[in-house]
């Protein structure tokens, strides 16, 4: 392993000159080689890791990003420090967080009317932060419940305001999104909350409802489809997303919020949940999750290099189509319960007609290098999460395995 790294060291050093000139210790050339990035192309690295990872999150990240982070881990761009070791107020991290924000603004065409925040606490913390910032305790707010995550968001909001369910897909086991005229919105609701993509149930909005109240706003949890396709941010008052599915590791949560909504938080709002404080301090009110923000910056750069979110969406449509086609063409051997028009591009849940075979399916797939396919513990079955970073080859391998498994068990 070390020998391989040494062999490739020339090209590595020309790609990452910081390793050759600014090593922080003399013996770096030895210890660094042991941990330095392999110069092998990422296509070979895929074989190296040996698996396609279908986890729902934390989830697979682009290999080029992981390899770049590896190459910069020990000595970030000649600074003599890792990103994890430097001040969040120093010039290196300042450049990282600014680039993360500007690249994200380019990806989603986010106007200056919106603040972009890099926060902590996961999307779960946003379940409380949203009502605390956007309404008073006696205000009413509306929630559409399309799966477990919107249900959790609603239950948390109940603690801070008068939250109502305006539609629920529970009785149909969360397989649908309502048609928008079915939603019984409160005329005075301060906001309408949706979960853009239900990670567990695989239900995704393809279009967005408009709040009935002219002064109301649409709020969306986009944790599991963030940056998977273009979104017209101007239709929303607030979008939030935990990074650990599509754009980074766990530890950072991104909030995109219209600036005119800031500054009216409930008095009990903890300082760490007050969007205005974070916006006024450019997400540096306290120590941010520096490493996680750095990985997001690399991911955003990679998404721009791919041609932006239209190009990314095309790839995601192709990947999900071959998987859904395989399920639908299996004659009932595999079943996806979600209504076709709202099937997720990101999380594909399915069951086997003979549920006794599901354990075997998951175990055999893992032996073949397709891991983390088990459905969420609350629903069982199988779930293939095929976020941006899942290569088409991974999905092709999965469908080939599915067909072979069916041929052996039908
Ligand atoms: N919303 C959605 C759609 C999710 O998928 C998740 C996590 N799987 C959450 C919220 C909660 O996120 P976190 O664990 O970052 O709090």
Q: Encode pLDDT of 169-221 as tens digits.
A: 999 999 999 999 999 999 999 999 999 999 999 999 999 999 988 899 999 99
CA atoms within 13 A on the CB side of 382: 31
Distance between CA atoms of residues 33 and 30, nearest Å: 5
Is the overall model pTM greater than 0.95, yes or no? no
Residues 242-270: what's their mean pLDDT? Answer: 98
Residues 106-120: what's their mean pLDDT? Answer: 98
Quote the pLDDT of residue 154.
98
Distance between CA atoms of residues 119 and 257, nearest Å: 12
Residues with Cβ within 8 Å of 268's Cβ and at least 6 positions away in sequence, in order, are: 132
Determine the distance separating the centroid of ligand 1 and the alpha carbon of 143, expressed in angstroms: 16
Pocket test for ligand 1, best of 223, 249, 349 (most atoms within 8 A of CB): 223
> Is 202 a pocket residue for ligand 1 (Cβ < 6 Å)?
no
Determine the distance separating the centroid of ligand 1 and the alpha carbon of 122, expressed in angstroms: 7
Residues 32-54: what's their mean pLDDT? Answer: 56
Q: At what angle do helices 358-367 and 392-409 cross, to 10 degrees?
A: 130
Residue 52's pLDDT band, with cuts at 50, 70 and 90, is very high
> Is 199 a pocket residue for ligand 1 (Cβ < 6 Å)?
yes
How many beta carbons lie within 10 A of that of residue 329, not counting itself? 12
Partners of 52 in beta bridges: 370
């Amino acid at each position: 392993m070390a020998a391989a790294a040494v062999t490739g060291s020339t090209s590595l050093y020309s790609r990452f000159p910081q390793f050759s000139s600014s090593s922080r210790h003399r013996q770096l050339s030895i210890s660094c080689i042991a941990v330095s990035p392999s110069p092998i192309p990422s296509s070979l690295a895929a074989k190296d890791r040996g698996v396609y990872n279908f986890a729902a999150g934390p989830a697979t990240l682009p290999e080029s990003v992981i390899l770049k982070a590896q190459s910069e881990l020990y000595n970030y761009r000649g600074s003599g420090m890792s990103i994890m070791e430097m001040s969040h107020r120093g010039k290196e991290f300042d450049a990282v967080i600014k680039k993360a924000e500007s690249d994200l603004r380019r990806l989603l065409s986010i106007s200056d009317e919106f603040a972009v925040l890099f926060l902590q606490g996961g999307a779960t913390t946003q379940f409380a932060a949203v009502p605390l910032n956007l309404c008073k305790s006696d205000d009413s707010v509306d929630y559409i419940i399309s799966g477990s995550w919107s249900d959790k968001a609603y239950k948390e909001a109940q603690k801070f305001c008068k939250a109502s369910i305006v539609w629920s897909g529970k009785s149909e086991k969360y397989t649908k999104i309502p048609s928008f005229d079915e939603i019984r919105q409160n005329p005075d609701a301060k906001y309408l909350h949706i979960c853009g993509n239900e990670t567990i149930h695989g239900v995704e909005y393809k279009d967005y409802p408009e709040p009935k109240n002219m002064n109301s706003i649409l709020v969306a949890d986009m944790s599991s489809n963030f940056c998977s396709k273009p979104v017209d941010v101007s239709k929303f008052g607030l979008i939030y997303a935990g990074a650990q599915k599509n754009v980074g590791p766990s530890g950072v949560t991104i909030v995109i919020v219209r600036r005119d909504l800031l500054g009216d938080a409930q008095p009990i709002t903890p300082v760490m949940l007050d969007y205005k404080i974070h916006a006024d301090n450019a997400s540096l009110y306290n120590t941010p999750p520096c490493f996680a923000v750095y990985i997001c910056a690399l991911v955003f750069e990679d998404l721009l290099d791919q041609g932006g979110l239209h190009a990314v969406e095309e790839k995601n449509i192709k990947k999900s189509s071959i998987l859904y086609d395989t399920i639908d063409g299996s004659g009932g051997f595999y079943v996806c319960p979600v209504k076709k028009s709202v099937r997720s591009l990101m999380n594909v849940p399915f069951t086997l007609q003979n549920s006794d075979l599901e354990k075997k399916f998951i175990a055999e797939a893992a032996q073949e290098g397709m891991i983390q396919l088990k459905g969420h513990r609350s629903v069982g079955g199988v779930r293939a999460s095929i976020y941006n970073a899942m290569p088409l080859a991974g999905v092709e391998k999965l469908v080939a395995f599915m067909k072979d498994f069916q041929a052996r068990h039908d």
